Amino acid sequence: MACSSPVKDKAVDVEAYQKEIQEWQQKRNAYQVSEQGWVNLAGLFWMKEGINTFGSGKDNDFIFPEGKIPERAGYFLLKNGEVAIEGLPGVEFIINNEPVSKKVIAGESIPRTEVAYGPLRWFVIKRDDKYGIRLRDYEHPALKDFHPIDYYPVDPQWRLTGRIEWADSSHTIEITNVLGQTGPQRSQGKLVFTYQEKEYSLDALDEGDDKEFFVIFGDDTNAGETYGAGRYMYVEYPKEGDEVIIDFNKAYNPPCAFTEFATCPLPPKQNVLPFPVRAGEKNYGSH
């Protein structure tokens, strides 16, 4: 048995619950190969201040996929926190369904702007003081090679009843990402639960909505059965009082499990559980 205490809600329909988790798994797999998924990522390029050339030619600062864009397509100009794109003569891009050769695509008051050329899509991301170009390829070979994520058997005993110990609105915890950048992130409190008659807790992060907590956690299966840098999980807000359902069957891999072009946050040390959580997604590939 996965846990020492059964699901508190004795009315849980096990067959319906297993179907719910299986549908969630199907959506997870479909998302990976969707246009907004992680499998089609083809590059992540960090800009220097000033001009950054791009195209499929090897002499560019940023080398895009061969055969899908001119060898010398244009350049990005990063200046004082603003990013502009300019195509070389004869090269136009599609932005908001309009052909353009020059445009500011990122800045303090500019919403995220996606640029298209053939099957390629890209936009600016910002991590701390670093500006990068995240590139997608809707014809990426990995889309055809994608195989379904492997999961542990659905086990209702990993659907645990816990509680939220709320923190005040100024509470933050330090989160480090795979780039080695560390900074404070708002934590709404601790999710407290019991496993094998011992009490544990996970710091819950605020993603800006009022429906779910975001949890980054590690456990003793990492780097073997599951992804080495931990897994993620969402926990619904309590419907009343402080009771929450912590469902490890919905523990999932971070984007870095599917691509080298992600900037995943890592579990804080207090969220590394000292026991194996054999529920949710297993490791995928070799990232």
Question: In a 3-state reduction of DSSP, which class is residue 27?
Answer: helix
What is the tens place of the pLDDT at every residue in 253-282? 999 999 999 999 999 999 999 999 999 999
Mean pLDDT of the chain: 94
Q: Tell me the average pLDDT across 173-198.
A: 97
- Rg over CA atoms, the chain: 22
pLDDT of residue 12: 72
**Residue count of the chain:** 287
The per-residue b/e assignment along 196-230, b for 16 or more CB within 10 angstroms, e otherwise, is eeeebbbbbbbeeeeeebbbbbbbebbeeebbebb
Query: What backbone torsions phi and psi does residue 5 show, to the nearest 5 degrees?
Result: -115, 140
pLDDT of residue 209: 80
What is the tens place of the pLDDT at every residue in 119-141? 999 999 999 999 999 999 999 99
pLDDT of residue 285: 78
Q: Report the alpha-carbon distance of residue 253 to residue 179 in Å, rounded.
A: 18
Asked whether the predicted pLDDT for residue 56 surpasses 50, the reply is: yes
Question: In a 3-state reduction of DSSP, which class is residue 40?
Answer: coil
| In the chain, ranges of CATH 2.60.200.20 domains | 41-145
Taking Cα atoms as reference points, which of 117, 157, 151 lies closest to residue 133?
A: 117
- For the chain, helix, strand, coil in percent to 5 are 15, 40, 45
Asked whether the predicted pLDDT for residue 10 surpasses 60, the reply is: no
Class (C level, CATH) for 41-145: mainly beta
pLDDT of residue 7: 43
What is the tens place of the pLDDT at every residue in 65-90? 999 999 999 999 999 999 999 999 99
